[in-house]
Amino acid sequence: MHPCLEKILLNEDEIVARCKELGQQLTEEYKHNEQPPLLVALLKGSVPFLAELIKHIDLDIQFDFMDVSSYEGTESIGDIKIIKDLDCSVKNLDILLVEDIVDTGRTLKTVKTMLKNKGAKTVRVVTLLDKPDRRVVDIEADYTGFEIPNEFVVGFGLDFNQKYRNFPFVGVLKEECYK
Ligand SMILES: O=P(O)(O)OC[C@H]1O[C@H](OP(=O)(O)OP(=O)(O)O)[C@H](O)[C@@H]1O
Ligand code: HPA
Ligand SMILES: [Mg+2]
C-alpha cells in the first residue's frame, strides 16, 4: 500500500458494483423521459466515476464538462471559481450533475444554481461519495454511491494537491501526509 495511505475505504470491486447499480437505477428513472439527460461532470475529480458510470446507463446520453475549483490542499476556500464552462447550452435540458464527492456542499449548491439560472429544465445530482458530517450548506444528492465518515479521502478521481487521482480504490490519507 502507498505510504501515505491509512487504509482502503472502498475497493475497486465495490466501487464498480455500485456504479453498475446506479447506472441501472438511472436508466430506469430516465427511460420514459422525453429526452435522455445531459450528464454534466465536474473536472477533474468526477472523471473516473463518470467513465465507470456511463458504461451502465442504457440510454442515448451525452456528457459535457465544467471545471470549478474550491480546494487548496485539504481546505475548502469557500469561493467557487469557474475555470471552464460548458461547451453546450443547458436550456430546457434535464441535467444530471456528476460529482465525485459532496463535502461542504458549496460546489454542488453553486453549480446547481448556475445551471438552473441558465434555463436547465431539471437538475439532479449523482455523486460517488457523500460526507454528510461536513455539510455547511443545505443540499443533498439525488443518487449517492457511498456515505463516508469525515476523513480526507483520495483515489478514484479524488486528489490531494492533484495527486492520487489514479488509485483504482478510495483510501484514507494519513494525517501526517497533509498536516
Ligand atoms: O462539497 P465541497 O466542499 O464543495 O467539495 C466537493 C468538491 O471539491 C472537490 O473538487 P475540487 O474543487 O478540489 O476540484 P477537483 O475535482 O479538480 O479536485 C470535489 O471534486 C468536489 O467537486
Ligand atoms: O475528502 C476529500 N478528498 C479529496 N478531495 C475532496 N474534496 C472535498 N473533500 C475531499
Ligand atoms: Mg479536489
101 lines ligand 2 (CB under 6 A): yes
178 lines ligand 2 (CB under 6 A): no
Read off the amino acid at residue 36.
P
Q: Is the pLDDT of residue 164 over 90?
A: yes
- The closest of 37, 58, 27, 26 to 127, measured between CA atoms, is 26
CB burial class (10 A; 0-12, 13-18, 19+) of residue 94?
middle
103 lines ligand 2 (CB under 6 A): yes
pLDDT digits (tens, 9 = 90+) for 79-101: 788 899 999 999 999 999 999 99
Ligand 2 mean position to 117 CA, how many Å?
27
Handedness of CA 54, 63, 103, 24 (dihedral sign): negative
Query: pLDDT band at residue 76, thresholds of 50, 70 and 90?
Result: low
Euclidean distance between CA atoms 179 and 11, whole angstroms: 25
pLDDT digits (tens, 9 = 90+) for 96-129: 999 999 999 999 999 999 999 999 999 999 999 9
Q: Which residues are catalytic?
A: 103
Domains of the chain (ranges; CATH) run: 5-177 (3.40.50.2020)
Which residue's CA is minimally distant from atom 16 of ligand 1? 45
Q: List Cα–Cα distances, 43 to 58, 107, 166, 178, in angstroms.
A: 23, 12, 14, 22
Atom of ligand 1 lying closest to residue 134 CA: 3
3-state helix, strand, coil in the chain (%, to 5): 25, 35, 40
Q: Are 143 and 25 in contact (CB under 8 A)?
A: yes
pLDDT digits (tens, 9 = 90+) for 14-59: 999 999 999 999 999 999 999 999 999 999 999 999 999 999 999 9
